Structure 1
Amino acid sequence: MEYVKRLKEIIQEKQRVRTLAHRKSVFLFLINNRENERKFNSGNKDYQFIFQLDVAESVTVDGPLVLGVYNGVFGKMNLDLDYDSFQKQSFLDDALSNQLAIYLTQELLYRPLDDKWYLENMVVTMTDYLVKQTSLDLANNGELKMGITPFQMQKIKHHITENIDHQISTSDLASLVKLSVHHFIRMFKRTTGETPQQFTKRLRMQRAKELLLYSEDNIIQVGMGVGCDNASHFTQLFKSSYGITPLKFRKAHRQMTLAAS
């Protein structure tokens, strides 16, 4: 956490974010938009926890950075925190990020407001991690050479999304872009930094998160909806991706939504 100089503001209203921003600012947001919730639609209240930190001059920040979680999905927003500006960032969405987000939100909701030192440590820890993930992704993208074209990647992603509840083989994906399996795997890894199997698994688990948050399907149904034949296999895959079981993930987010209402 050596890059953090100080925590400037705690729990800022989003209208004030732009006036506080400068090149070395990092904003952390945790936002739940209840209009997207099917079950909890009795009110229109949003809640957002927004924090600003300054970073040391020695750290390269292409900023200001606005990073965080919107409806359980990790990504970036513009300085106005317009929901329409939200862009998913898969490289932020891993086991540690999810654990930190759930833990931080629970602390915000249930810990006394006068206990700021602990809250500040949690904010700094999560922001530090997300900034490092962002920096690592930028570095990796700079090193990777294009192997699969953007059009081909869009075609592959569309195919996976449309068939996410079925088994998808690497040979199926290779045939979409008219490459041999061996050449496809090599080019795909060069382009994305992931194998086709890793990429497909990540899209499956992202879809599983959406189903857990916004549907009433049980765990078995969610698993089948992303191509897992049994609940045990689905639970194992989800936990390996996010560090928490599907059931605990759903319960945690629903408890936070109810507590904020």
Structure 2
Amino acid sequence: MDGKRQQQPRHVGDIAIIPAGTAHRCSWDTPVQFVVLAMEPTLLQQVGQDWVNPDQIELTPRFATGPDALIQSIIYTLKAEAEIGGIGSHLLMDSLKTTLAIHLLRHYCTTKPNLSNNSGSLSQAKLRQVTDYINEQLHQDLKLSEMAAIAQLSPYHFLRLFKQSTTLTPHQYTLQLRIERAKSLLQHSELSIAQIAIRLGFSDQSHFTRCFRRALGMTPKQWQGRSQ
């Protein structure tokens, strides 16, 4: 890679970093499975423009000599979400991509970014605008960029300030709101579980059931039976 050669054993979780435009090739002598995650350089530039001159944003090449727990977790989550899809995909994947870009800039950028650790939060007015928008669009596949535009912030700053304001990421906040709305409909409406799933924007009843069980430890039907 990049004119250098290295022979190495591969272990589960080992991560290689291959910057855009870097010449590389590899070969192996045993059956192997691995995941390749390609990122547009413009994403790094958009996220890092506040701390590094976009022309100086470049990743440092790294052979797969060790693990990176955060990158591994993000890759697995992105892979699972791409396979499952459904409501929330855009918001969750936007959040994961932004988190990955920040991590790469912080740990693998050739120019050390001046990342600000200043505390802060969204103003009450902007927070209300965003949460009102989420409430009104629960049936839609919300996007991080849309929320950030309402707050007039970059996706990174919005993600950081929203979490400091609510203790939740936009994806977690939206999912929590959907679950709370679902509990109310299960208890006080005549809608079927499938109808509730559609009304709250889940892709189907099974997707709704998975999210509900993950949040509350029981299925919607089980919760409905206990609340009656």
TM-score of the pair, normalised by structure 2? 0.47
